[in-house]
Amino acid sequence: MNLNEKKYSQYALVREMLETSDVIRKFDPAASERFVQPIRSKKGLFLTGEGSSRIFPAKRTLTASLQEGVPVPIFTEGATQALEYKFDDLAVFGASNSGKTKEVVRLFKHLKESGHTAFFGLTANSGTPLQDLALDTHVLGCGKEDAVAATKSVIEQGLFYDSLYRHLTGKKMPGLDELADKVEEAMTLRVDSSLVEKMKNAGMIYFAGRNTGVAEELTLKTNEITRKKSDYLEGTYAAHGIEEVMNPDEVVIVVDPFESEEEKFQEVLVKGVGMTVVAISHRQTSFPTILIPDGGAYKDYVELAAGWNVLVEIGIALGINLDKPERARKVGNEYTGD
């Protein structure tokens, strides 16, 4: 996708996606520094929210913590289920772009009423119910999003949690300019038209891969952007029984495939079901591969951007108004003061 062609530039969604590289360049890792001491007063960190405000930002951070040896225990769950948890020993961060997400506001009311001493907000808007309730709130700098599907805000939320985790563990956050370049490259690379055609005609688009939030977030974006049914098959779940109900006209997009499991996916999905498997990866895989730059420690951001690119191409091919889903709303479940 690019802004030099009207078929792309007419949509706020595309314009906002392509603003992401500047959001990355302008991000200041010091934005999260003031939250470090209050969080250190607890034994761990709980990241909550709904939809895009939680899936990628929280799960990417949790995965990074596990890969590095969990110096700071991190947990995540939706805000309604979180009402059933005890948070005495955990600091809580609640993300809501609107600042009006009912589930998050309800949880924060509960935390305030119970006298909790470390609960904080992450939002794109000032003067909201979330900000009124939280002990402190960081407001994103990415600016307003007009499209229903959240994009640049998701990346900035991820960067904020990334910087917070690094402050907690004494690490720096170098290389953001290079990341911005790679994200832009991933969003503007050409997607093979034959692959787009298969995905356009697919009865179902599945995403598979690590539980970093990337594949799951792209599953949600598939619903919002292409209006197609989609499902997230965590890890290697795609080879563990679901093939019984898959059809040859369906597509699996594998994000950064486990190299050791490619043969099994070929056997079960390509040969067994007869379906198309496509990979998004920085290396050539045994599947048709959308090759992207190697993002290193930031690879998840680059993978997400490449996935957006694919979904825009599918939506354009289908002739869909990318900015206006029929039923999806910018605020999924809005707090109205009850």
Structural domain spans, the chain: 6-173, 178-318
Predicted confidence at residue 338, as pLDDT, reads: 63
Q: Cα separations (Å) of 81 from 50, 86, 103, 113, 160?
A: 11, 11, 9, 18, 24
pLDDT in tens, 125-181: 999 999 999 999 999 999 888 888 899 999 999 999 999 999 999 999 999 999 999
Per-residue pLDDT of 223-243, as tens digits, reads 999 999 999 999 999 999 999
| Domain 6-173 in this protein, CATH class | alpha beta
Q: Is 78 exposed, middle or buried (0-12, 13-18, 19+ CB in 10 A)?
A: middle
Closest CA to 92 of 32, 48, 126: 48
Which residue's entry shows tokens 């609107």? 98
- Say yes or no: do domains 6-173 and 178-318 share a fold: yes
* DSSP-assigned beta bridge partners for residue 254: 208, 279
- The domain 178-318 having CATH identifier 3.40.640.10: the answer here is no
Q: What is the mean pLDDT of residues 33-59?
A: 97
> Are the beta carbons of 126 and 140 closer than 8 angstroms?
no
At 58, the pLDDT band (50, 70, 90 cuts) reads very high
For the chain, what is the radius of gyration of the CA atoms?
A: 20
Q: Which residue from 332, 305, 110 is spatially nearest to 188, judged by alpha carbons?
A: 305
pLDDT in tens, 105-130: 999 999 999 999 999 999 999 999 99
